[in-house]
Amino acid sequence: MKIDNRISTVIKRRSFHLLILITFFILKGCSSSFNNSHYSPESLITTNSIKANLEFLASDELEGREATTRGEKLAALFISSELKKYGVKPFYIDYLQEYDLNSISVDPESKVEIFNSNRDKTTLNCFDDFIAGRRSSVTTNGKFKLVFAGFGITAPEFSYDDYANLNVAGKIVIIADDEPFSNDSTYFNGEKDSKYSKEYFKVSLAKKLGAAGLITIPSNFYLKNWDRISTFAKGESVSLPGEKGEKLLNLIFNEESLSFLFENEKQSFTDIKNLIYDNKPFPAFELNKEIEIDIIMNEGTKKSYNVVGIIKGNDSLYRAEYVAVGAHYDHLGVIDGKVYNGADDDGSGTTALLEVAKAFAKTGLNKRSILIVFHSAEEKGLFGSGYFTDNFDNIKNITAQINMDMVGTEHIDTIYSVGSGKLSSEFQRLVEEVNSQTVNFVFNYKFDDPSDKQKIYYRSDHYNYAKHGIPIVFFYDYMREDYHKQSDEIDKINFEKIRKTAILVYNIALRTANLDQSLIIDNKEVSESFN
């Protein structure tokens, strides 16, 4: 069956069921829907509806819902049709906020050839032996000398310079990932990463020094998971037009290629690994080998779509203010012929959001307006939420944002609550109070720890609202076993947990929408850091 026909069939079937339900209400004399028990959120939000929507959104027919693809557009149209059926009004024409994304991918014919001092040649193949950093790399051709420069960092405030006495102009510089280890917070921020560990800093510095490109020695985790990482590297990377960032070839070699690269040089790859693990200084040196590079980066522009609906507030004094509720509906698409359906990531949040939208449209109890925002391109770098918030008129009129990203697995009685107190202690108290009065989840606040190495607070769409000083809360199940794997399928989903999350989110949004004043922002350290 064609996908378009499947959408039409699903819509017609559910519309028919809704018609029967409405007829039943009329025959029963339901003249006041807002006050009728049939319109409580608990009765409107159902596992049957969640399951039916997720069965379609997480089916192979939607091809993994990757941003900028046919599968994403089909998902956006399906979500729009559901919102229209529920009575949610479009915030943009036909619900869709279209925007451009620049795309870049590595041509699989790209290759690298290494010449030793005897001019013997060894060819390295793209994806098998190396990958190119898609966000920073540019098409590069030519033969170059090689220089090893430690971490590739110059930090005058710490009297640290990997490039001291090195001439790297016109050469490929080999550097190690990360930065010097320290327990002292005054030296490279101690255990917390400093700016010097970031790719953008290393690329910018190498380019400033005239380097032709970088070869990065990745972390041990990266090396051990090379097959999986190189598979994902075959896809495209996207960015918003006008995004600033230095561009310089950045190749990442696997362990076998690195071992060959440093063979018969002043330091072997094993020597360098030991220096990293022992936190000892690196010797900088020029290699005897040379490298010939033929890297081709394919670039273009594609369309992506946020899907946005609105349930207008019923109070004229507050209607121009908004509570935003969101989830991302994109996933990873098709990789090496395998569909990554993303049932939990984030089909679960998407279907929960549909239920929240339906409940608000039917109850109409909100003083402030409710924005229902299905973000796209979250998996590519939070681009959908970034575009939405950066282009929203009067962004300060959004008084709070609630985000759901993976809410359908793990224990049914617990969920991770992230960020509710980062800007507003009042919002955290409200979230906890509503939870205790409704579904009574056990909240895990692990990812609110400032030293969280996974930086979960910065890795989903709520962060683009928090950057504007908007109080947020992020609900998350911390799925690990199937995360970004083909096995993230609907048979792993706990539909009752999604229902509980949707009920909680509806009630938090309603309570926030009906406050007599905006939430108090009292965490000055965090809020000011966004300005």
State mean pLDDT over 332-337.
Answer: 93
Sign of torsion over alpha carbons 50, 56, 60, 66:
negative
11 pLDDT band (50/70/90 cuts)? very low
Among all chains, which residue has been given the structure tokens 């911390």? 478
Of the pLDDT bands very low, low, confident and very high (cuts 50, 70, 90), residue 135 is: confident
| DSSP state letter for 293 | E
Among the listed residues 353, 271, 277, the one whose alpha carbon sits nearest the alpha carbon of residue 308:
353
DSSP secondary-structure letter at 140? Answer: E
Q: What are phi and psi of 102, to 5 degrees?
A: -75, 135
Q: For the chain, what is the mean pLDDT?
A: 91
Q: What is the pLDDT of residue 524?
A: 61
Rounded to the nearest 5°, which phi and psi values hold at 386?
A: -65, -45
pLDDT of 190 reads 84
Banded model confidence at residue 526, pLDDT cuts 50, 70, 90: low
Tell me the CA end-to-end span of the chain in Å, nearest whole number: 51
pLDDT band at residue 244 under the 50/70/90 scheme? confident
d(CA 148, CA 91): 54
Which of 215, 202, 200 lies closest to 129 in space, CA to CA?
Answer: 215
* Residue 495, CA distances (Å) to 8, 349, 462, 492, 502 in order: 24, 11, 23, 10, 11
Q: How far apart are CA 137 and CA 155, in angstroms?
A: 24
28-32, 132-136, 434-438: lowest mean pLDDT where?
28-32
Using 50, 70 and 90 to split pLDDT, how confident is the model at 425?
very high
Question: With 70 as the cut, is the pLDDT of residue 25 above it?
Answer: no
Cα four-point dihedral sign 317, 318, 319, 321: positive
CA distance 106 to 127: 9
Residues 173, 291 contacting (CB under 8 angstroms)? no
How would DSSP label each residue in 204-257? HHHHHTT-SEEEEE--HHHHHTHHHHHHHTTS-EEE-TT-------EEEE-HHH
Residue 319 three-state SS: coil
pLDDT band at 117 (very low <50, low <70, confident <90, very high): confident
Quote the strand ranges of 333-384, DSSP E.
333-335, 338-340, 369-375
Q: What is the pLDDT of residues 151-178, one digit of tens each?
A: 999 999 999 999 998 999 999 999 999 9
Kindly tell me if the per-residue pLDDT of 198 is higher than 80. yes
Is the backbone peptide bond immediately before 516 cis, with ω within 30 degrees of 0? no
What's the rounded mean pLDDT across residues 47-68?
A: 98
User: Is 96 buried (19+), middle (13-18) or exposed (0-12) by CB count in 10 A?
Assistant: buried
More confident of the two residues 369 and 228: 369
> Strands 96-106 and 297-311, how do they pair?
antiparallel
Peptide bond into 393 cis (omega under 30): no
Q: What digits encode the pLDDT tens for the residues 459-478?
A: 999 999 999 999 999 999 99
| Dihedrals phi, psi of 289, to nearest 5 degrees | -75, 160
Q: Which one-letter DSSP state was computed for residue 128?
A: T
> At 421, is the secondary structure helix, strand, or coil?
coil
Cα distances (Å, whole numbers) of residue 17 to 39, 52, 55, 496:
16, 12, 17, 21
What percentage of residues in the chain have a pLDDT greater than 90? 83
Q: How confident is the model at residue 34 (pLDDT cuts 50, 70, 90)?
A: very low
Q: How far apart are CA 163 and CA 346, in angstroms?
A: 44
CA torsion through residues 528, 387, 419, 471, sign? positive
Distances (CA, A) of 14 to 9, 19, 81, 178: 9, 9, 11, 52
Per-residue pLDDT, averaged over 18-41, amounts to: 42
Q: Which two tokens stand for residue 20?
A: 């029967």
pLDDT on residue 489 = 98
- Give the angle 452-477-238 at the CA atoms, nearest 5°: 70
161, 149 Cβ separation under 8 angstroms: no
The confidence score (pLDDT) of residue 4 equals 46
- Give the integer Cα–Cα distance in Å for 308 and 359: 16
CA 93/CA 105 separation, integer angstroms: 32
> Structural domains in the chain?
3-101+303-529 (3.40.630.10), 108-295 (3.50.30.30)
Average pLDDT over residues 43-48: 97
Q: What angle do the packed helices 70-86 and 349-363 form, to 10 degrees?
A: 20
Average pLDDT rounded to a whole number, residues 440-462: 95
81-95, 222-236, 419-433: the lowest-pLDDT one: 222-236
Could you give the CA distance from residue 100 to residue 126 in angstroms, rounded to a whole number? 28
Write down the pTM of the prediction: 0.86
- CA–chain centroid gap for 184, Å, is 31
Confidence of residue 523 (pLDDT cuts 50, 70, 90): confident
- Residue 183 banded pLDDT, cuts 50, 70, 90: confident
Q: Which residue type occupies 421? A: G
Find all residues with CB under 8 Å of 486, minimum gap 6, and list them: 338, 339, 340, 341
pLDDT, mean of residues 97-119: 95
Rounded percentage of the chain residues whose pLDDT exceeds 70: 91
Q: What is the pLDDT of residue 245?
A: 77
